[in-house]
């Protein structure tokens, strides 16, 4: 059984598509840019936003960084609350904590948005830390390393540590930090096969499946 379990937030603990979609549309409208179709907007959930703006909206990096700033004008006032928890996730967090696991969020979302979302949906009582990015560097591996520091995870502890996320960025960030990652497809934000190709240890479609993998 894993002792330390790190969870991604968007697309893993919550379905945040409504707030992200609305805030991407807001940003692109203010910047007089065309908005991609909804199937493309799905790809904005999870990865660093600046990367998605570059990848899917043909922006340069400076343009993408500015688009993120405009995105946050809306997201950090109303968009963060336009989401819902994954089915069965709060009972799972409760079961894991009762089993002696140490739980934390490790999200690329700015940390100032992570705690309010975790509080809104009742995650906070089960968490030892709610880690996010500094709003500038959104690399998943940096957030994971920050979670290690806050939880006091040593090199030896890594063999008892795992990440849970819904995109290849979670799998790759975990691997860069020397830990495995379980992929989840609660909301199907990743293209088919992405998690497997990235090297996920397992892929779970429900909280019940995830519970069986984590607690064995």
CATH topology of domain 4-15+84-215: Rossmann fold (3.40.50)
pLDDT tens, the chain, 216 aa long: 799 999 999 999 999 999 999 999 999 999 999 999 998 998 898 788 999 999 999 999 999 999 999 999 999 999 998 999 999 999 999 999 999 999 999 999 889 889 999 999 999 999 999 999 986 777 899 999 999 999 999 999 999 999 999 999 999 999 999 999 999 999 988 999 999 999 999 999 999 999 999 998
Q: Which residues participate in catalysis according to the annotation?
A: 8
Q: CA nearest 108: which of 69, 147, 161?
A: 147
State the pLDDT at residue 216. 81
State the pLDDT at residue 45. 85
For residue 184, which phi and psi values (nearest 5 degrees)? -125, 145
Give the domain ranges of the chain: 4-15+84-215, 17-81
- Geometric angle at alpha carbon 114, from 46 and 150, rounded to 5°: 105
Half-sphere exposure for 154 (CA within 13 Å, toward CB): 1
State the pLDDT at residue 163. 98
Sign of CA dihedral 141, 42, 208, 112: positive
State the pLDDT at residue 48. 83
State the pLDDT at residue 134. 84
pTM: 0.89
DSSP secondary structure string, the chain? --SEEEE--BTTTEE-HHHHHHHHHHHHHHTT-PPPPHHHHGGGSSS-HHHHHHHHH---HHHHHHHHHHHHHHHTTTGGGS-EEPTTHHHHHHHHHHTT-EEEEEEEEEHHHHHHHHHHTT-GGG-SEEEEE-SS---HHHHHHHHHHHHT--TGGGGGEEEEESSHHHHHHHHHTT--EEEE-SS--SPTTHHHHHT-SEEESSHHHHHHHHH-
State the pLDDT at residue 138. 74
Same fold, 4-15+84-215 and 17-81: no
Q: Which CATH class is domain 17-81?
A: mainly alpha
């Amino acid at each position: 059984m894993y002792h330390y379990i790190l969870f991604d937030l968007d697309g893993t603990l919550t379905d945040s598509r409504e707030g992200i979609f609305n805030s991407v549309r807001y940003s692109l409208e203010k910047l007089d840019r065309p908005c991609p179709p909804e199937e493309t907007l799905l790809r904005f959930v999870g990865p660093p936003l600046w990367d998605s703006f570059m990848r899917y909206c043909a922006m340069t990096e400076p343009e993408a960084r500015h688009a993120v700033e405009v995105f946050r004008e809306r997201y950090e006032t109303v968009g963060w609350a336009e989401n819902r928890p994954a089915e069965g996730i709060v009972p799972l967090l409760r079961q894991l904590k009762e089993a002696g696991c140490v739980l934390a969020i490790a999200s690329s979302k700015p940390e100032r948005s992570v705690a309010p979302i975790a509080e809104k949906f009742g995650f906070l009582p089960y968490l030892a830390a709610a880690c996010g990015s500094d709003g500038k560097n959104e690399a998943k591996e940096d957030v994971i390393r920050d979670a290690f520091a806050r939880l006091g995870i040593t090199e030896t502890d890594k063999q008892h540590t795992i990440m849970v996320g819904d995109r290849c960025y979670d799998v790759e960030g975990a691997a860069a930090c020397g830990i495995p990652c379980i992929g989840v497809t609660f909301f199907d934000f990743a293209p088919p096969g992405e998690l497997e190709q990235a090297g996920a240890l397992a892929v779970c479609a429900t909280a019940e499946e995830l519970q069986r993998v984590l607690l064995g």
